[in-house]
Structure 1
Amino acid sequence: MTPFAVRRARLAAAMEPGGVAVLATAPEVARNSDSDYPYRHDSYFYYLTGFTEPEAVLVLVAACGETPARSILFCREKNVEREIWDGFRYGPAAARERFGFDEAYPIGELDAQMARLLADVPVLYYALSSNAALDAQVGGWLNAVRAQSRSGIKAPSRTQHLPALLDEMRLFKDESEQALMLRSATIAGAAHLRAMRAARPGMFEYELEAELLYEFRRNGAQFPAYTPIVASGANACVLHYSANNAQTVDGDLVLIDAGCEFDSYASDITRTFPVNGRFSEPQKLLYELVLRAQEAALAAVVPGRPYSDVHEAALNVLAGGMLELGLLDRARYGSVENVLAERAYTAFYMHGTGHWLGLDVHDTGSYRDLSLEGKPSRLLVPGMALTVEPGIYVRPGPDVPERFWNIGIRIEDDVIVGASGPRVLSGSAPKTVAEIETLMAER
């Protein structure tokens, strides 16, 4: 539990002396009738607690003068009868000991305790306007404190948005987080390998999805990190394709974008391969262009360089390749610089080259330095985690060479910014043409 206690201490130190922070975990959500969706805790809450049960709230009281900071958990009471139906629950006493809180109380006491904890507090930190029910509950707490004004007790005069403090903390992954992310990426990489080995023309996309899910779960991943994309043929040109119900055809490429969640940390990997095991010449030309773009982008993952350099490195390679292969008319655009200036590349590459990664697939943290005038792209710093995922998506069109029609390719890896460059977490999944064709020839 040490990393969680360290994070709570860091947050308390960033708060105003005597301030109080309140952070609730995610609610259980009904799927239909009497069935709930599989429960997944709130990422912010887990980051500070390691506690995964529903109906839980963390209250953090910042130090003030000689009074040290305190962490307080509110959670479900121990209930042996409910455990027969729903499984183990800690209860306040065991949760306090196991997770290192200073105090713990039943969740039913939250409202009464908050009226006490918020008395004479200068500022209340919580997720402002994120949840109407929470806003109403906070309003009730503040009114309960104001009701004590005749006794000289004052309610907090200010509220501040708690995630703003946590987002920057979560952007930098400590050693324990990096280890979990490596495990998550290793499991996901094995799943991509399994899908490549299983692929045959005529299979349905959902059959390949099943191979992924099997490999995730048998290696201990608790969930897919997001709905897997298994897109064959023209479906690969739909960026967020999720139906996964088409039948593959001999000669198709299959784009699989799939990651798992291991102990709350996400992986996010994309590989593209020929379902019959051999790239056609047009497929190979586009694939190797995307791979060169990814190599250039990875080379830009260096401490001290702007985050935007990663995207710009990929764009330069892709724009040049689009001209070289005739996807864009050289007579019209003339140069890479013109392609970039006119954003002509967006006909075939319309998304960014990556995003932060961590507890959430699209993790927290600003991509710009908000402290500087003009808010330029922030500089990369060791401990940041991101994806690097260039692609190319060629839909039929009157000015588009027919041999490239309906080819969609994306190559995505998970990366930690290291002291001198990128540390690729997902390298176990093959991605060169030779590696993929050799692997699939051995099926």
Structure 2
Amino acid sequence: MIKPNIKTELLARREKLLAQMKPNSVALFFASPEVVRSNDTHYPYRQNSDFWYFTFFAEPEAVLAIIKQEDNSCRYVLFNRKKDPVAETWTGYRLGQQAALETIFVDEAYLFDEISTVLPDLLNGKTAIYHADQQYDYADQLVKQALTTLRQGARLNLSAPTTLIDWRPVVHEMRMFKSDFEMAILREACKISAQAHVRAMQKCKPLMYEYQLEAEILHEFARHGARWPSYNTIVGGGNNGCILHYENNSEPLNTGDLVLIDAGCEYQYYAGDITRTFPINGKFSQAQREIYDIVLASQYQAIKLFKPGTSIQEVNQKVVRTMVEGLVKLGIMQGDVETLIADKAYSTYYMHGLGHWLGMDVHDVGSGRDRLLEPGMVLTVEPGLYINQDSDVPDRYKGIGIRIEDNILITQSGNQVLTSDVPKDPDEIEKLMRT
């Protein structure tokens, strides 16, 4: 378990937000509501990433108010559930208000049930409110009720904020740049994710079921303290590997086929996201290796190109050329390379983007793929080729789906691969599977 200096990190994040807030304003952050799975059972609770970013608090029914006064001083106010011995007997420990002052580092803590009366007081006389509208219905209702109370109290000298600002652009820009604190956790998430992929390669045998390989991965996650995957694990054997978000994981793994595994753990609220594709029987066929080599060359090319000042979009254009040239050479695509690229004919076999931001959410927040990269950003690099059984190609290539995905940190001089512990060179994969 990584335990860096929590207080220093939390206060630094809040102060960075405060520096971008207007004087005499309030920013509100709401916890995720619980989600019913069936009847009276719930999905495992997962806190809203933005709320966690400023609190490290994992309970539902909670609200954080970050208040910037007219003189630029600040107050932190938390609303959370009350201590309740009976409820805690059934559903677990609650932090309560007194402990929140000491562990969430707030100036005041109120019962969540008091928010309808206290929130208007916090907003009274403020000129602006920062709120993520339409994120949660209960949050919008609480804000609307507080503003209505203030507007109806004008004769009592109550005054509602006149400016509503969405904090997401500011906060999500902050989250794009990972601190040393965050990187320590992210590295561990990537390390555990890589160990799970290594285990899958070692355990894979023909006639196993996809879900049995998934179980090996999830066990490895949990064994290292990552209780949950950061997304639903994909284990696609044969043609199932051509389904980008295949999640059934219900079919047998047949000798002679490849298996595509897209899996990552969530560790202390940070996500790993790795994809590897390998032969179920431990040996690539010639056709499989021909396609694999194109994808691997494309990924190596992309990783080499990613550095400050480039963009995902720019690098993807170069990767597309490499893949099209490779497919034309194999006879899978026919025609002039320039024309095929201009017509996007490659999208039959490569239909997704080259990568995405990575952090507290596996598809993390941040601006688009044309954004120029800067040090501190973390992203995935995941080219792929998918030639399903119905493709009009030579039979030896049908049913081959290959994706290779790593996670990288952009540095001052280039990038650092965070997931290099799991092999992707085909010879190294075959060697590992023999052990």
Residue aligned with 2:355, SS? coil
Q: Which residue identity lines up with residue 434 of structure 1 in the other structure? A: D
Residue aligned with 1:14, SS? coil
User: Aligned runs of 1:89-238 on 2, under 5 Å?
Assistant: 89-238=94-243
Q: Give the Cα separation in 2 of the matches to 1:115 and 1:63.
A: 16
User: Conserved in 1, the CA contact under 8 Å of 2:206 and 2:254?
Assistant: yes
1:338 aligns to 2:339 (yes or no):
yes
Q: Give the Cα separation in 1 of the matches to 2:75 and 2:330.
A: 62
User: Conserved in 2, the CA contact under 8 Å of 1:300 and 1:313?
Assistant: no
User: Aligned runs of 1:218-367 on 2, under 5 Å?
Assistant: 218-329=223-334, 333-335=335-337, 337-367=338-368
Residue aligned with 1:242, SS? coil
User: Conserved in 1, the CA contact under 8 Å of 2:238 and 2:400?
Assistant: yes
Partner of residue 414 from structure 1, selected from 407, 415, 418: 407
User: Conserved in 2, the CA contact under 8 Å of 1:13 and 1:63?
Assistant: no
Aligned counterpart, 2:41: 35
For structure 1, the 5+ residue unaligned runs are 369-376
Residue 80 of structure 1 and its aligned partner are, at CA, apart by: 2.6
1:436 aligns to 2:433 (yes or no):
no
Count of aligned positions: 429
Residue 105 of structure 1 and its aligned partner are, at CA, apart by: 1.1
1:55 aligns to 2:56 (yes or no):
no
Residue aligned with 1:365, SS? coil
Residue 129 of structure 1 and its aligned partner are, at CA, apart by: 2.0
Q: Give the Cα separation in 2 of the matches to 1:394 and 1:88.
A: 51
Segment drifting more, 78-87 vs 192-201: 78-87
Q: Which residue identity lines up with residue 101 of structure 1 in the other structure? A: V
Segment drifting more, 230-239 vs 5-14: 5-14
Identity of aligned residues (%): 44
Deviation digits for residues 383-402 of structure 1 (CA, Å, limit 9, x no counterpart): 00100000000024564121
Deviation digits for residues 129-148 of structure 1 (CA, Å, limit 9, x no counterpart): 22333222211100111122
Deviation digits for residues 300-339 of structure 1 (CA, Å, limit 9, x no counterpart): 210112332231232121111111111101xxx222x222
- Output the aligned Cα RMSD: 1.2
User: Conserved in 1, the CA contact under 8 Å of 2:312 and 2:354?
Assistant: no
Q: Which residue identity lines up with residue 383 of structure 2 in the other structure? A: P
Q: Give the Cα separation in 2 of the matches to 1:435 and 1:4.
A: 42
Residue 79 of structure 1 and its aligned partner are, at CA, apart by: 2.2
Q: Which residue identity lines up with residue 50 of structure 2 in the other structure? A: Y
Q: Give the Cα separation in 2 of the matches to 1:231 and 1:76.
A: 43
Q: Which residue identity lines up with residue 268 of structure 1 in the other structure? A: D
Q: Which residue identity lines up with residue 278 of structure 2 in the other structure? A: F
Give the TM-score, by structure 1 length. Answer: 0.95
Change (3 A) 1:141 1:283: same
Residue aligned with 2:254, SS? coil
Residue aligned with 2:115, SS? helix
Q: Give the Cα separation in 1 of the matches to 2:270 and 2:250.
A: 28
Change (3 A) 1:423 1:95: same
Residue 240 of structure 1 and its aligned partner are, at CA, apart by: 0.7
User: Conserved in 2, the CA contact under 8 Å of 1:4 and 1:49?
Assistant: yes
Partner of residue 16 from structure 2, selected from 10, 30, 40: 10
Q: Which residue identity lines up with residue 287 of structure 2 in the other structure? A: P
Aligned counterpart, 1:22: 28
Give the TM-score, by structure 2 length. Answer: 0.96
Residue aligned with 2:164, SS? strand
Residue aligned with 1:133, SS? helix
Q: Give the Cα separation in 2 of the matches to 1:160 and 1:326.
A: 55
User: Conserved in 1, the CA contact under 8 Å of 2:234 and 2:249?
Assistant: yes
Residue aligned with 2:19, SS? helix
Residue 153 of structure 1 and its aligned partner are, at CA, apart by: 2.2
User: Conserved in 2, the CA contact under 8 Å of 1:129 and 1:135?
Assistant: yes
Q: Give the Cα separation in 1 of the matches to 2:319 and 2:100.
A: 48
Q: Give the Cα separation in 2 of the matches to 1:222 and 1:396.
A: 36
Q: Give the Cα separation in 1 of the matches to 2:205 and 2:392.
A: 33
User: Conserved in 2, the CA contact under 8 Å of 1:78 and 1:91?
Assistant: yes
Residue aligned with 1:255, SS? strand
Aligned counterpart, 1:373: none
Aligned counterpart, 1:424: 417
Q: Which residue identity lines up with residue 382 of structure 1 in the other structure? A: P
Deviation digits for residues 118-139 of structure 1 (CA, Å, limit 9, x no counterpart): 1111111111122333222211
Change (3 A) 1:431 1:19: same
Residue aligned with 1:54, SS? coil
Q: Which residue identity lines up with residue 340 of structure 2 in the other structure? A: V
Aligned counterpart, 1:400: 393
Partner of residue 81 from structure 1, selected from 77, 81, 86: 86
Q: Give the Cα separation in 1 of the matches to 2:388 and 2:38.
A: 38
Residue 275 of structure 1 and its aligned partner are, at CA, apart by: 0.6
Q: Give the Cα separation in 2 of the matches to 1:116 and 1:63.
A: 14
Q: Which residue identity lines up with residue 398 of structure 2 in the other structure? A: W
